[in-house]
Structure 1
Amino acid sequence: MKGKRVILDTNLWIHFLISKDLKNLDKYIFEGKLIIVFSQELLEEFIEVSGRPKFSKYFSFESITHLLRLFDFYGDFVKTSSQINLCRDKKDDFLLNLAVDGKADFLVTGDEDLLALKKIEKTKIITISELLNILK
């Protein structure tokens, strides 16, 4: 199976850090079944959110650094140029731009505003449970 290009929304990365459970996604990444697609905007959002004081009791700076190394080594950094404005929550439009410009197979999120769209061009917008079912 060719590696599926996947965008994981920040809410999932934060969940993974808190729960210390990557749902076996790390295995799929290491096996080349998943390629993590990310952009400067997604990276900045992750750093901003993970640095909030309310999260400091759940995970360490080292955990964040480890995840950033995972992005760097196994990810595909995409410079976005699209200007899509479809999401009810406009601050999430950058993920739609990344989906299109990054030619992602899936945008994985728990955000209802994004999930309501179901698809953007060839990118399916799905939950983590749906992704795990696809990967089985």
Structure 2
Amino acid sequence: MPKRKHRVIIDTNLWISFLLTKNFSKLDNVFADQTLTLLFSQELLDEFIEVARRPKFKRYFSLADLQALVEQISLRAEFVTVTSEITICRDPKDNFLLALATDAKASHLITGDKDLLDLQQFENTAIMTIATYLSGK
């Protein structure tokens, strides 16, 4: 029986973590998984780039590292135009991710954000850590 295709959103905090630790093994697993569609919106990409360019991160990774990762995202991700407006998250700044999950018909939202993780599920989207996702639970 073929493996079900996952439609996955990865939150900004994990993209930053990949850059900070330079531990791309989990990210490589995601990019190599042919049963996975990586989902992005322009807002998510803009947030990632804005956060990554903050002065406090300059000593941890170069602009070239950031550009290389953004290029990989651009090549690999399905970009979705978000039209839904969601207002249920405890942290209003996270609502755009739930709107993306709705409009992209995401199966998973992978994050380290406690406000999102506490939801566990939103509509048809499971919300979990990357460790939980990679363990197949």
Normalising by structure 2, report the TM-score: 0.92
The correspondence of residues 55-70 of structure 1 with structure 2, limited to 5 A, is 55-70=57-72
Matches within 5 A, 1:114-125: 114-125=116-127
Supply the RMSD in Å over aligned alpha carbons. Answer: 1.4
Q: What does 1:20-99 correspond to in 2, within 5 Å?
A: 20-99=22-101
Question: Hey, what's the Cα distance between the residues in 1 that align with 2:30 and 2:5?
Answer: 9
The one-letter code sitting in structure 1 at the alignment partner of 2:128 is I
- The size of the alignment, in residue pairs, is 135
Letter in structure 2 aligned against 1:128:
I
Structure 1 stretches lacking a partner, 5+ long? none
Give the superposition deviation at 1:25: 2.9
Q: C-alpha separation between the residues in 1 aligned to 2:28 and 2:35?
A: 10
1:1-48 deviation digits (Å, cap 9, x = unpaired): 243111111000000001111243323423413221010110110011
Secondary structure of the structure 2 residue equivalent to 1:80: coil
Q: Matched residue of 2:61: which SS? A: coil
Equivalent AA in structure 2 for residue 113 of structure 1: D
Within the candidate set 91, 107, 120, 1:105 is matched to 107
2:127 equivalent to 1:130: no
Shift of 1:107: 0.3
Q: Any unmatched runs of 5+ in structure 2?
A: none
Moved over 4 A (4+): none
Taking every aligned residue pair, what percent have the same amino acid on both sides?
48
Cα displacement string for residues 87-134 of structure 1 (whole angstroms, at most 9, x for unaligned residues): 010011000000111111100111111111111111000011111101
| Distance in 1 between residues matched to 2:53 and 2:106, nearest whole Å | 27
